[in-house]
Amino acid sequence: MSCLMVERCGEISLDSPDQNAKCVRMLGDARVRGQTGVLSERRGSYPFIDFRLLNNTTLSGEIGTKKKVKRLLSFQRYFHASRLLRGIVPQASLYLLDEDYLGQARHMLSKVGMWDFDIFLFDRLTNGNSLVTLLCHLFNVHGLIHHFQLDMVTLHRFLVMVQEDYHSQNPYHNAVHAADVTQAMHCYLREPKLANFLTPSDIMLGLLAAAAHDVDHPGVNQPFLIKTKHHLASLYQNVSVLENHHWRSTIGMLRESRLLAHLPKEVTQDIEQQLGSLILATDINRQNEFLIRLKSHLDNQDLRLEDAQDRHFMLQIALKCADICNPCRLWDLSKQWSERVCEEFYRQGDLEQKFELEISPLCNQQKDTIPSIQIGFMTYIVEPLFERWAQFTGDTPLSGNMLNHLRRNKAKWRSLLHKQHSSSRSNDHSGQVTGSQEQTLKKEETP
């Protein structure tokens, strides 16, 4: 296991003294260089974007301390709750969660493979712990805890780290989104065309990548980080900036928690690399690259899922689908996600306007309406990908269900957009009449 360097108030702690030579310290950044050369970022290094904090490094120690205490308290709560979810009834009643809520959460977990799974309700029932609870359940369902001989306490510690490193103040890129993507990934991993070939390693990689694919997301996009000269943009040379950060942060959490420390070094190194490949595939700028490759495979019928490389490619496609599957959900759920992501766009636009920066596309609340944003997203991003995914899976109930929801939801957004245009024209016409009336009155009042 490579060394782990954690910076807290100017101090550095190492896994063991004899690993000093492997550690690299950089001002404003703490990373780990493993024997494979993969760098991991110190958790909590990059809080949400706030211009008051961009150039203020004195708060990092305070932030780290608060998160450490919060993490410890959360871990105790999650561990207690998980005992109930595994059917272990404690002697003392759990005061943090009502028994009725836990019963409903258990009932929902029994239907976690259903596409109409309501992640918002599940998050409320688990007191905001949807990601930790869901992952513990899925790791157990898929037999990963037994297969990889994972320690339950260590697994909880790692999952708490992941959940806590999502920023709840983000309307969209938060732990609930991660849980939603993870639940979708679970559904895709069960598609017969893929499931028949998956190994335990494939399943664990898919679930871990889904859970951590947006960890520590700052709530703004890559162009914003580049034009504000954020240190992450410099660190990753303006290429897949956020995705690289999510990946390296995940590696840091894996090493800090020592979740996989008992596995052979070459196995953990391979897991870290493959996690990176999966998470980096979620970069929307690489959409055409993956679509072209998928189309080529499907047209040539040369996918061989017995081959680890082809399986990994389809895991990348599955994760990309899971990441943008909101338009394929039931309307009530899909609409909530649409409103949340647009709210995050608008917040970025407000920041850009406040600091006299050019407002990014889709971030101008006065010009970019939710229906127009969603129709464009569905047409150019979602539909091409999910049509190819359905071609891969064949005529399965899930693929048909998702495409039907996608078409119905797009029709509803079109209807809402039409109503907005009609209302706008009506208001404009009303304004013109009022203006004409004012001119008439003025003429009558003129001597």
Annotated catalytic residues are 173
Residue 302 known to bind ligand: no
Structure-token pair, residue 292: 């072209």
Instruction: Specify the amino acid at residue 226.
Output: I
The Cα 46–Cα 54 span in angstroms is 9
Q: With beta carbons less than 8 A apart as the criterion, state whether 256 and 4 touch.
A: yes
Strands 23-26 and 29-33: antiparallel
Report helix, strand or coil for 142: coil
- Our CA dihedral for 348, 349, 354, 359, rounded to 10 degrees, sits at 130
Q: With beta carbons less than 8 A apart as the criterion, state whether 344 and 360 touch.
A: no
Residue 365 known to bind ligand: no
Sign of CA dihedral 183, 275, 310, 298: positive
Length of the chain: 447
List Cα–Cα distances, 323 to 18, 299, 386, 408, in angstroms.
Answer: 41, 25, 12, 20
Closest to 32 in 3D by CA, of 210, 268, 249: 249
Residue 213 known to bind ligand: yes
Residue 214 known to bind ligand: yes
Residue 374 known to bind ligand: yes
Q: Other C-beta atoms within 10 Å of 368: how many?
A: 18
Residue 312 known to bind ligand: no
Q: With beta carbons less than 8 A apart as the criterion, state whether 195 and 189 touch.
A: yes
The Cα 249–Cα 97 span in angstroms is 30
Residue 177 known to bind ligand: yes
Q: What is the DSSP letter of 305?
A: T
Report helix, strand or coil for 25: strand
Residue 359, phi-psi category: left (phi > 0), alpha (psi -120 to 50), beta (remainder): beta
Residue 269 known to bind ligand: no
Residue 323 known to bind ligand: yes
Return binding residues. 173-177, 213-214, 323, 374
Return binding residues for Zn(2+). 177, 213-214, 323
Return binding residues for AMP. 173-177, 214, 323, 374
